[in-house]
Amino acid sequence: MVSSIEKRDTPDATPVNGRGGPAVSKTSPAVGGGTGPRLRAELDGIPTYKPGRPAAAGGPAAFKLSSNENPYPPLPGVMERVIATAGIFHRYPDLSCAGLTEELAGRFDVPLEHVATGTGSVGVAQQLVQATAGPGDEVIYAWRSFEAYPIITQISGAASVKVPLTGAEAHDLDAMADAVTDRTRLIFVCNPNNPTGTVVRRAELERFLDRVPGDVLVVLDEAYREFIRDAEVPDGTDLYRERPNVAVLRTFSKAYGLAGLRVGFAIAHEPVAAALRKTAVPFGVSQIAQDAAVASLRAETQLLERVEALVTERTRVVGGLAGQGWTVPETQANFVWLRLGERTLDFAAACEAAGVMVRPFAGEGVRVTIGETEANDLFLQAAEKFREEL
């Protein structure tokens, strides 16, 4: 399996001297070929992150099922807190996110020093790569997985090691462990995996962690943790307590419905959490985001009732697709994955014509968020019609 692993070469570098001294990265030609600013050449190969397309105003697509957002509006109590904080946004936010950090430490029963906040879990993920990997180093992750992983890895100058998913659209942890070398600095395990929704269960994850050297950081990306109903899937915070080289990523963008405010966090042992604080953008998390996150944690019971409603809809959608003859990987997230290959873009266009925007990955498949009942019904109707016309 290792032979099929895709490695991206590290950026070209030129030694400062002939004795193997420090290397200087090559730069792109000056803008316009003149005397403009010289940019890092390795940035030329970095793909642009592609967000899910919104429902077009006045267009046929009335529902956005392309970005894994929570379809419910903020709770009244959260909105009240946001409105109150909006009156002071002429002031800088709390740099340390003290109130939110204290709330999270209490919620997860961890030391304050083990909590680090950032601009969504993707922002914290980028900080983790910056803190661990640079030119000559490697970052391992499954593929396809979260679209930001190759981007944030290349930005740091490190090399991506992409390990193909299994035929069941799940992490191949044995192959990922086999891919570890003395250049490996960080491994992402997206659980549930985005965009396939599949999970890694406790026994296989613990076997994998036993094989990973203690000086390699394993990041359990649990952006969709609240949607898991499989009792065999471990809570990453339990594994963090047992292993100093495990960090856990969470976000307020999905179950908590704060995608537009950009706030996430990591729980990690102090050396890692301290490095996150060093690599954080100063004042990156707005005070509105901090206060909304605190209010959401305090309203967790109400929010998780909404999550339960989405899980019920997920079961209905998966059952509907299976009844139409589609092969749907077992999902524990707030989305479903259909592998469509060359039919991917046609399927996405058919969904748009039916009134829903989905997230296509050209040549591979589509990811479809579980949304409002009406949106899910439109999607199921579009999927059925598309299949009938094959």
DSSP output for 235-256:
PHHHHHHH-TTEEEEEESSSTT
What is the DSSP-derived secondary structure letter of residue 4? G
Count CA atoms within 13 Å of residue 287 on its CB side: 13
- Contact criterion met (CB below 8 Å) for 42 and 135: no
What is the DSSP-derived secondary structure letter of residue 219? E
Q: What is the pLDDT of residue 34?
A: 62
> Between the CA atoms of 237, 241, 244 and 246, what dihedral angle is there, to the nearest 10 degrees?
-20
Angle at Cα 280 formed by Cα 279 and Cα 282, nearest 5°?
Answer: 125
Question: CB 118: neighbour CB atoms within 10 A?
Answer: 27
Residues lower than pLDDT 70 in the chain: 1-4, 6-34, 53, 55-61
Candidates 3.40.50.460, 3.40.50.700, 3.90.1150.10, 3.30.590.20; CATH matching 63-68+300-389? 3.90.1150.10
CATH dotted code for 90-298 = 3.40.640.10
Domain boundaries, the chain: 63-68+300-389, 90-298
Residues 6+ positions from 150 with CB-CB distance below 8 Å: 8, 46, 47, 160, 162
Give this prediction's pTM. 0.89
Q: CA-CA distance, 143 to 63, in Å (whole number)?
A: 28
Q: What is the pLDDT of residue 40?
A: 83
Q: CA-CA distance, 174 to 166, in Å (whole number)?
A: 11
Q: Collapsing DSSP states into helix, strand and coil, what is residue 183?
A: coil
